[in-house]
Amino acid sequence: MRTALITGSGRREGLGFETARQLAAEGFHVILSARRLDQVEPLAAELVEEGFDASALDLDLLDRASVAAAARQVEERFGRLDVLINNAAMMVASPTVADKDLDELMLEFQTNVVGRWSVTQQMLPLLVAGGHGRIVNVSSGAGSFWDPDYGLVNYPGFEMDRFGEMPITAYALTKTALNGLTIKTAKELKDANVLVNAVCPGVTATRPGSEGWARPVADSAKGVVWAATLPDDGPTGLFFRDGKQLPW
């Protein structure tokens, strides 16, 4: 059975959990992970009750020892990993560049870039061992130079005034860096049959009150699952939304 690890999957209404559910429906054993085991154990049990294969794992992106321990647990139980979904992220409403708290900025970069890099490093031998590894970096159009507003205005169902008082400059820059990391990782793994892509899920209804203007979580997860289940001759080192390539 193919295995998939999804970081940041500790919220029932979140993108990570829905991605896990859809991958489980594709026949994967899904490993739900979050900083605390009690966040993901009930959700994994819920999937098992529905007839899927699932398990729970505590994994703190900001703790390298935690990441290394998680990799050891995956190796001991499964011997390999077929899919890594780097989903866990942090977005803080930011003031202007001039006023941004730099300690907060460092935490966002540690979470969205360095933490994902750490997970990728530790899981890489397991992805290579499987012979058909897939890495999906959940990114955002906010990190695209192509987006005319360097933000979210082109997403389906987006209303500009919803974010009018919530600048996301720091978050956007972390996603730009993540997109660059995607390209570099894909080049390094070209000969190892590990495909690495970035996916923008679009503005997604993961918070109460967002259902009327953001897209359903199930719709957003489909694009992530698509990248996770690409054939061996599929694309790598690219940026997608809903299976369609986006410019950087």
Catalytic residue ranges: 171
Whole-angstrom distance, CA of residue 40 vs CA of residue 56: 6
Whole-angstrom distance, CA of residue 135 vs CA of residue 228: 7
Q: Residue 51 is encoded by which pair of tokens?
A: 């007839």
Judge whether 87 and 16 are in contact, CB under 8 Å.
Answer: yes
Within 10 angstroms of residue 44's Cβ, the number of other Cβ atoms is: 24
Strand partners, 241: 244
Name residues whose C-beta falls within 8 Å of residue 240's C-beta, 6 or more positions apart in sequence: 197, 198, 199, 200, 223, 226, 227, 246
Whole-angstrom distance, CA of residue 147 vs CA of residue 210: 22
* Sign for the pseudo-dihedral over CA of 20, 23, 27, 28: negative
Q: Which amino acid is at 148?
A: P
Judge whether 45 and 53 are in contact, CB under 8 Å.
Answer: no
Question: 113 φ, ψ to 5°?
Answer: -120, -60
